[in-house]
Structures are given as C-alpha cells and as structure tokens.
A and B are shown apart, each in its own frame.
Chain A
Amino acid sequence: MRFWKLLRIYLSASLSVQLAYRANFLAAILSSFANLATGLLGVLLFYSRPEIKELGGWNLEGALMVVGFFTLTEGLISVWLRPNLTQLSEGIRTGTLDFLLLKPVDAQFQLSARNLNLLRLPDMLLGLGLIVWAGAALGTVTLSGALLSAVLYLSAIAMVYAIWFMLNTTAFWLVNVQNITELFQGVFSAGRYPLQALPLWIRPVLTFVIPVAFITTIPAQALRGELGTAALFSPLVALILLAICRVLWLRALGSYTSASS
C-alpha cells in the first residue's frame, strides 16, 4: 500500500517536471515516430529484396512483431530504466546517494521508481500498436498464445531490469564508469530483428550469455503459436537474474563508504 502511494507521488512529480518543457513534447513524438520508421525501414529493406523470401523462417508480419517488441522494450527502457538507474553512479560519485539511503523506504525501490520520462511514452505505445497490428495481420494468434506471450514478455521486462540494475551496481566499485548500461544497449541492438536472421554462431551467445532472444524473439514466437510450455523456462531465468541482482545490490551497499564523509 505504502509503495503504491509513493509510486503515485513519484509519477505526479515526474509529470510536473516534464510539462515544464512543453516544446520538447512535439519533438519527442516526432523522434518516436522516426525511431519506429528506422526499425520498419530496416525490416522492409530486407523483404523488398527479391532474393529474400523469409528472414530466417520469419515472414514479414512475424518479423514486424519482433520489431514491435523491440520498440516497446526500448520505450520501456527510456521511460523507466534510464531516468532512474543512471542516477546511481552520479549519486555514488557525488555522495548524494546518502540522502536516499537515509529515507525509511527500501533504497532499491526508490532508485528504481523515482523518475519516469513520460516524453518517451509514445515509443511504448507505437511498439504495442505494431505488435497488435502485426498480430492481426498474421491472423493466427490464439488467446492462449497471447497469454503465454504476455507471461514471457513480463519475464523479459524483469530480465532487462535485472541486467540494467546489475550493470549500474558496478558503479560502487568502478566509480568513474558512467553509461555502462550502454554496453547492454549495444548488445540489445541485435534483438531488433528475429534471432534466426543472424548467423548461427552468434545465436547461442544471444540466448544463453546475454538473454536478448528471451526479450524480443521468444515472446513473438509465442504469439505465433510456435512455443509450447517449454518456454516457461523464461520466467525461471528472470527469477534467477532478479535474485542475483538483489544479492549484488545488498553486497554493494554493504561495502559503500560514501564520498561525502
């Protein structure tokens, strides 16, 4: 209950900050559309070539669903993870993390929920819209497929959160390294199109080393009805990552000595 109340306060604070820069809003919507256009142009370029019938066994509608999941996830990162978690390294470097630790609320929760960049919300909506549109165009989506896909995507969100949080936690030891999460963004870029379109040697890396496949390709496969219950492996990976993330955070906090004192 207390967490919900705090979330509401955080949300309204974020909203009032962003409404101060109204001219930015139009540009943000434009850049959301432009972002989506890049993803679409990329995928249409492949299918516009007569030599390419299918991209690693994916038809156009299926590939568009992957692009949709990618856009949605990028939007989620911009709206939620980037504005929050990048403040950790700044807080450690300057010592302002202390103020947060003094408050009687779990510090990880505060760090993870304080800010929302609502300007990037259109990215999420466009991504979601693309998934729905491509799913309808495909015409074979079943209710159970959609439910399975939703569960898998929730696990995917948990994985992205855990990876982002873990990368930021390294700031406790590597004080000088900001933007370390951009390394994940670099790898995640490989998730914008179906995994099977990539060369064979890189696919295991993107599945088992960095779970990019779980974030975009696998939820789309579930929507297409290609996955059985074996896909429930995904929530397990998510839970393990979340647990490691929490342990790492508590250990990091234990070794924190503060910059200001």
Chain B
Amino acid sequence: MNAHTWRKFRVLMATQFAHMTVYRAEIVIWMLSGTLSLVMGLIWMQQAASAPGGEIGGYTARDFASYFIATWGTAQILVVWVAWELSFDVRQGTLSPKLLRPIDPFWMHYVGHWAERIVRLPLMFVLLVIFAVLTGAQYTTQLSHWLAYLLLVPLAFTLRFLLEYCIGLLAFWFEAAENFQELVWVLYAALGGLLAPLSLYPAAVQKVAAFTPFPYMLGLPCDLLTGKADLSDVLRGFFILLAWTVGFGLLRALMWRHGVRKYGAVGA
C-alpha cells in the first residue's frame, strides 16, 4: 500500500465515520431489531432445560446461550445493506455523481460499512456482556482461537459484502433488487446457523449447507468461540471463504463493467 492509497483510505474512513455518527440512533434501532437468533436461543435454552438429560444433541442450556449470544454478536458484524443503497442509487439516478469521482464507489460503501461497525461496537459490546452475565455463557480462553476469530470474521464480512454488492448490481438489469436480497438473507439465516447450531440440523440440510459459504461465515466462528470447533476447522473454512470471496470479487467486477454500460442515469 503506497502513501497515496493510504491517504485515500484515511479520507474515506474519516468522512464515512462522520456520516455514520449522524445516524447513530438508527444504528441502535437496527441493532436491536435483529433478534431472530436471540429468540431461537431462548427457545432452545428452555427446551434443553426441560429435556430429560438436560441437554439436546450435546448442548446444555448454557451451551445454547453461549452459541446464540456469539451468533448475535457475529451477525452484528456481518450486517450489510449495500444492496439497498445500490438498488436505490440505480433506480433514482443518484449513482451519477458517484460515477464522476475518481474512485470506484465500491470503496466508499466498503469503508462506510466498517466505519458503521465502529459506531456500533460500544453498545454492542455492552449488550454482549450483559447477555453473557445473565445467562452464564462461557467462551474459550485460548488466545489463538480469538485471533483466528478476528481473522475469519473480517473475511466473512468481505464475502457477504461482495455477495450483497452483486445483488445490488442486479438493479442495472431489474431496476429493483430488494427482493433478491431478502431471498439471500433467508438462505444466510437458515444455512449460516442463526436458527440452531448446524450440527443439530438434519443430515441432508447439513450436506447442502456445506456447499454454500454460509456455515463458514457465521456458524464456524461461533463454534470456534464456544469451543466446538478447532483451528484445523478454521483453516479449512478460511480457504473455502477465500475461494468464494475471490469468486464473488471477480463476478462483481464483471457485473460492474457490463452494468454501468446499461445504466440509464435516470434524472440526469
């Protein structure tokens, strides 16, 4: 990275961070609205507590708490809304001024998402601690696992971002891409492990899920923190995620090149 790129990054980060702090109230609302994993967690905990042996598929109520709190936190880091923004920009013509800048709008969105994470982090951390204390959730104390988590999750975020970016770019052809986005979210929630730890899924679903990137994005990092996965799983997951990331990176570049040519610049 040369000095020039570094400066671009710093400027983007500073402006996007300022932009995101304006929306801090909305960020909190969005954060509190994503409760699917918490609801599922509460039900699994209740079922495990009332099950004959006090556990379901090897998970006690406390294991479920640990897993679902980790899922909630990880899903917060993986939140991506770029598809909505791109779809809006293409439909309303607000993409035009962004095209005039000497930098691909991709970087503005990407850095913007990271800047939002910084705004999100303090409250998220407080909530995570409260949840963990209330439920007695327990996490690994091995430093290497936490470092592996910190390596895996940014990659998972980048992949999810590229995936959503490609969906947003569909707006060049279909004008409104929001519904495709919902479809992919459902796959992500179901196969990623928001509903239950993936090992509790029916075998057939587990097999299908392994062919998608979703279990490695969400379920794997959480299993790592709760001690249900080890570093060799992470290594495998990392390379699978990397391959998907490269694939979607290329797809994005291709779609962008063809899409911009089709762009009608509504309102210009």
Is A180 close to B, CB under 8 A? Answer: yes
Is A197 close to B, CB under 8 A? Answer: yes
State the Cβ distance, A6 to closest chain B Cβ, in Å.
27
State the Cβ distance, B203 to closest chain A Cβ, in Å.
10
Is A107 close to B, CB under 8 A? Answer: no
Given contacts A21-B175, A38-B189, contact A49 B56 (CB under 8 A): yes
Is B46 a contact partner of A179 (Cβ separation < 8 A)?
A: no
Closest to A180 in B: B29
- The CA-CA distance from A182 to B32 in the complex, in Å, is 8
Closest to A186 in B: B33
Is B35 a contact partner of A193 (Cβ separation < 8 A)?
A: no
Number of A-B contacts (CB under 8 A): 115
Is A23 close to B, CB under 8 A? Answer: yes
**A163-189 interface mask toward B, CB cutoff 8 Å, 1 = contact, 0 = none?**
000000000001011111011011101
Is A186 a contact partner of B200 (Cβ separation < 8 A)?
A: no
Is A179 a contact partner of B29 (Cβ separation < 8 A)?
A: yes
Is A3 close to B, CB under 8 A? Answer: no
Is B25 a contact partner of A190 (Cβ separation < 8 A)?
A: no
Is A24 close to B, CB under 8 A? Answer: yes
Given contacts A21-B176, A182-B30, A186-B33, contact A35 B182 (CB under 8 A): yes
State the Cβ distance, A127 to closest chain B Cβ, in Å.
15
State the Cβ distance, B26 to closest chain A Cβ, in Å.
6
Is B45 a contact partner of A199 (Cβ separation < 8 A)?
A: yes
Chain A residues with Cβ under 8 A from B34's Cβ? 186
Is B32 a contact partner of A31 (Cβ separation < 8 A)?
A: no
Chain A residues with Cβ under 8 A from B49's Cβ? 199
Considering only CB atoms and an 8 Å cut-off, how many residues of chain B contact the other chain?
43
Is B51 a contact partner of A52 (Cβ separation < 8 A)?
A: yes
- The CA-CA distance from A41 to B40 in the complex, in Å, is 12
Is B43 a contact partner of A119 (Cβ separation < 8 A)?
A: no
Is B46 a contact partner of A56 (Cβ separation < 8 A)?
A: yes
Given contacts A45-B196, A51-B52, A51-B56, contact A197 B46 (CB under 8 A): yes
Chain B residues with Cβ under 8 A from A28's Cβ? 179
Is A199 a contact partner of B179 (Cβ separation < 8 A)?
A: no
Chain B residues with Cβ under 8 A from A190's Cβ? 35, 39, 42
Contacting A198 at CB < 8 Å: which of B42, B51, B53, B196? B42
Is A187 a contact partner of B186 (Cβ separation < 8 A)?
A: no
Is A199 a contact partner of B42 (Cβ separation < 8 A)?
A: yes
Is B195 a contact partner of A185 (Cβ separation < 8 A)?
A: no
Contacting B36 at CB < 8 Å: which of A37, A41, A52, A189? A189
- The CA-CA distance from A179 to B33 in the complex, in Å, is 10
Chain A residues in the interface with B (C-beta under 8 A): 21, 23-24, 27-28, 30-31, 34-35, 37-38, 41-42, 45-46, 48-49, 51-52, 55-56, 119, 174, 176-180, 182-183, 185-187, 189-190, 192-193, 197-199, 202
Closest to B205 in A: A41
Is B195 a contact partner of A41 (Cβ separation < 8 A)?
A: yes
Chain A residues with Cβ under 8 A from B51's Cβ? 51-52
- The CA-CA distance from A55 to B42 in the complex, in Å, is 12
Given contacts A35-B186, A56-B46, 6 further A-B contacts (CB under 8 A): A23-B175, A24-B179, A34-B187, A37-B186, A46-B47, A174-B25
Is A27 a contact partner of B46 (Cβ separation < 8 A)?
A: no
Given contacts A48-B202, A52-B47, A182-B29, contact A119 B190 (CB under 8 A): no
Given contacts A179-B30, A183-B29, A190-B35, contact A45 B201 (CB under 8 A): yes
State the Cβ distance, B89 to closest chain A Cβ, in Å.
16
Contacting A186 at CB < 8 Å: which of B32, B46, B47, B202? B32
- The CA-CA distance from A24 to B91 in the complex, in Å, is 13
- The CA-CA distance from A247 to B169 in the complex, in Å, is 45
Given contacts A41-B195, A45-B195, contact A198 B43 (CB under 8 A): yes
Closest to B175 in A: A21
State the Cβ distance, B31 to closest chain A Cβ, in Å.
9
